[in-house]
């Protein structure tokens, strides 16, 4: 019985208004066809028909990663060795033919491209509770790489290392910071080119302290950061520039140091 049902409903009739009728063609002539569906017989004029597909060709939702890094979602109508025919909406008669040579990956499940990048940021880092050390703001630099998180949309994972050497109002006294952090950043795309990116990060910071009198001391502090980036997409999906403001907290065995950073960054995605 199952085999008979499979044979009975083997055709898919695509109409010009976007409808898709599944059934078995039981009669036809030059002007119209009659289709036996699961519930009724339906007569259709040939001038209403876009195409007829034979066999199990029900439209499947597909996800495509294109060679230029963009993604596309559609409903697959048909395909051959060189192209894929899709609809953006299942019930829309509008169809597009996409050459397979332009498709990097095609899947029935959602595809999240890695979009790896390298970036550099430079600006100012300032401790805010150095107390008697009286540390002054100083130049800082950060370098690193990031990529899309595969399991959650719009999340990027950043790995970065930085450097800043903050001198004091006291002669010969300074503190040197080398943070190494992993951060999660959420990409809010406000428009095609403008993005707001809040971030949270954890890691460690190497702190070298020199008071100008005794030997330099080194400690490793657990550290966290939170901040916000305002990013502009200069070159579509490749080149980004942005302003970042971050709060820092660094804790070693003896103290908790707070700080801030303001940086201008440039990033290139491959």
Residue-wise pLDDT tens digits, 232-254 = 999 987 899 999 999 999 998 87
At residue 89, the pLDDT reads 86
At residue 17, the pLDDT reads 84
Q: Indicate whether 49 and 105 sit together in one domain.
A: no
Q: Indicate whether 199 and 258 sit together in one domain.
A: yes
pLDDT tens-digit series, residues 130-146:
777 789 999 999 999 99
Q: Indicate whether 130 and 257 sit together in one domain.
A: yes
Number of compact structural domains in the chain: 3
Q: Report the alpha-carbon distance of residue 7 to residue 25 in Å, rounded.
A: 11
CATH number of the domain at 238, please: 2.40.160.20
Of all residues in the chain, the percent with pLDDT exceeding 90 is 44
User: Which residue among 91, 110, 129 closes a domain?
Assistant: 110
Q: Indicate whether 35 and 152 sit together in one domain.
A: no
Position 226 pLDDT exceeds 80: yes
Q: What angle is formed at CA 61 by the lines to CA 59 and CA 66, rounded to 5 degrees?
A: 120
Among 16-20, 47-51, 160-164, 196-200, the range scoring the smallest mean pLDDT is 16-20
CATH number of the domain at 72, please: 2.30.30.100
pLDDT tens-digit series, residues 46-99:
999 888 877 665 678 888 888 877 788 999 887 777 888 898 888 777 888 999
46 Ramachandran zone, left/alpha/beta (phi>0; psi -120 to 50): alpha
Q: Which residue has the higher pLDDT, 131 or 147?
A: 147
Q: Which residue has the higher pLDDT, 185 or 9?
A: 185
Arithmetic mean of pLDDT, 172-196: 93
DSSP bridge partners of 221: 205
User: The domain containing residue 93 runs over which residues?
Assistant: 59-110
Among 8-12, 183-187, 259-263, 265-269, the range scoring the smallest mean pLDDT is 8-12
Q: Indicate whether 196 and 248 sit together in one domain.
A: yes
User: Which residue among 17, 38, 56 closes a domain?
Assistant: 56
At residue 56, the pLDDT reads 60
pLDDT tens-digit series, residues 84-120:
889 888 877 788 899 989 988 888 887 778 889 999 9
At residue 3, the pLDDT reads 33
Q: Indicate whether 156 and 87 sit together in one domain.
A: no
Residue 211: which of 169, 249, 251 has the closest Cα? 169
User: Which residue among 69, 84, 110 closes a domain?
Assistant: 110
Position 11 pLDDT exceeds 90: no
Q: Indicate whether 235 and 144 sit together in one domain.
A: yes
Q: Indicate whether 168 and 239 sit together in one domain.
A: yes
Arithmetic mean of pLDDT, 29-43: 88
């Amino acid at each position: 019985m199952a085999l008979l049902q499979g044979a009975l409903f083997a055709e898919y009739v695509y109409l010009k208004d976007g409808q898709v009728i599944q059934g078995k063609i039981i009669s036809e002539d030059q002007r119209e066809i009659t289709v036996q569906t699961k519930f009724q017989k339906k007569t259709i004029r040939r001038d209403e028909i876009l195409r007829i597909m034979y066999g199990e060709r029900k439209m499947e939702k597909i996800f495509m990663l294109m060679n230029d890094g963009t993604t596309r979602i559609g409903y697959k109508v048909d395909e051959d060795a060189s192209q894929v025919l899709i609809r953006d909406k299942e019930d829309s008669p509008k169809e597009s033919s996409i050459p397979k040579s332009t498709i990097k990956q095609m899947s029935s499940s959602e595809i999240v491209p890695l979009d790896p990048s390298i970036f550099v940021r430079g600006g100012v880092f300032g401790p805010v509770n150095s107390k008697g050390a009286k540390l002054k703001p100083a130049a800082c630099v950060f370098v690193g790489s990031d990529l899309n998180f595969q399991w959650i949309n719009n999340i990027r994972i950043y790995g970065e290392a930085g450097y800043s050497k903050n001198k004091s109002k006291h002669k010969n006294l300074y503190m040197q910071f080398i943070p190494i952090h992993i951060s999660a950043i959420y990409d809010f795309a406000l428009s095609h080119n403008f993005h707001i990116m809040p971030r949270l990060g954890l890691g460690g910071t190497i702190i070298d302290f020199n008071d100008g009198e005794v030997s330099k001391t080194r400690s490793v502090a657990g550290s966290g950061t939170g901040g916000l980036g305002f990013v502009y997409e200069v070159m579509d999906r490749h080149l980004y520039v942005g302003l970042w403001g971050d709060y820092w907290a660094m804790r070693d065995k003896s103290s908790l140091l707070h700080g801030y950073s303001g940086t201008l960054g440039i990033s290139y995605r491959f």
